[in-house]
Structure 1
């Protein structure tokens, strides 16, 4: 079996943790240096796709929706959102690590079909929190695939998004009929209750990492 080869490295701002981009044939992997596990693998993106499709299917009556995605990753959520939306949509991806955009414009882009080449796609290099805090009423959907979900893995600052103030800020950044969608590696009943206490209707959906019926079980919270 072929071995993974390293294509690039990047440092997570403010953390000092190193990300590694690896490739083996047509398979890509993003890992944290020194950790045995993976953050992402290009063969396991079913739940990233679902994050976009579950939210964007609720925007079918909006001819020109504006969607914000927190986290570019391997581009699968962006690709799925673009595939579910019409020609007048605008999808902005906030990515904290500049090299991740570079990887997606290079060899890694082939995994998701080079979604950054779509004219409807925009990239904001920086923390998604900045856009949420500074764009009240701007987004028809906010899709957050940050870290590992409500309990941050790579960057503790990410936890704020899942707190009561973070939820309130995300609500304020939505249009009146807007929807929030959160990805998580696992269940978190406390987060479900936190969303409900914020006055949101909440639907936690279990999805599979590979495809329906296959792969690890992940969770998408839809809140509106």
Structure 2
């Protein structure tokens, strides 16, 4: 790419203007860096994906059995989804995404991992609100529109920045004992819920998880940040549904 910066797409969405752009920073090498913004807020970058990958690896390494049915909440640039597909025990992966333009970027392969996802028959996009689907009556709804009431081996969530720093106010009620318990109905016994966060361990959220699940842990994922010339970190929460 000759340009150091290119805006690939920008479209209105139900929560604001969503923009995909690509840049190169010569001091950091020749690779393209993909970024997503919502309005003026920076959402994600292909420079910092260690924790997005770790969300799948940590969550699925804790998940028992074979022929795993997995839900990923939040598509983003696709790193969590593709990391999940690298686990051969995964037989089905549903990626729930609220913003239709983001699904379009992947379907049109405007993002680096779009083709890898599209070529894998185990993978399916689901357009909808993860937070609404999470609390639906599993007898009539849930994460799979083609199979109401279906239970999954793992649910991996990467949407909000943290349980306190929300992408949109509408998700605030999710991080409660009541709604986490409703979501857990869509997990099989001993199924795993894992969630990415941009912040350190949240004691209040850990208490919620411990009310609903067992084997609750919060893992720190460190990575080098060249912009700050130091180590940064994200966290991954993991919890298991009781039998």
TM range (shorter): 0.7 to 0.9
The answer to whether structure 1 residue 153 and structure 2 residue 166 are counterparts is yes
User: Post-superposition shift, 1:91?
Assistant: 0.4
Match of 1:31 in 2: 37
Match of 1:48 in 2: 52
Calculate the aligned-residue CA RMSD, in Å: 2.2
User: Post-superposition shift, 1:161?
Assistant: 2.3
Choose which of 209, 215, 218 in structure 2 pairs with 1:195. 209
- SS of the equivalent of 1:89 reads strand
Closer, same or farther in 2 for the Cα pair 1:209/1:116, shift >3 Å?
farther
User: Post-superposition shift, 1:70?
Assistant: 0.4
Matches of 1:65 and 1:80 in 2, distance apart? 14
Choose which of 186, 211, 214 in structure 1 pairs with 2:199. 186
Worse-superposed segment, 179-188 or 214-223:
214-223
Larger radius of gyration: 2
Match of 1:10 in 2: 11
Match of 2:86 in 1: 83
| TM-score normalized by the length of structure 1 | 0.87
Structure 2: stretches of 5+ with no match in the other structure: 25-31, 143-148
User: Post-superposition shift, 1:101?
Assistant: 1.1
Kindly indicate whether structure 1 or structure 2 has the higher relative contact order, using CA contacts under 8 Å at least 6 residues apart. Answer: 1
| TM-score normalized by the length of structure 2 | 0.81
In the alignment of these two chains, the number of paired residues is 216
Higher fraction of helix: 1
Q: Is the 8 A contact 1:137 1:175 kept in 2?
A: no
User: Post-superposition shift, 1:113?
Assistant: 5.9
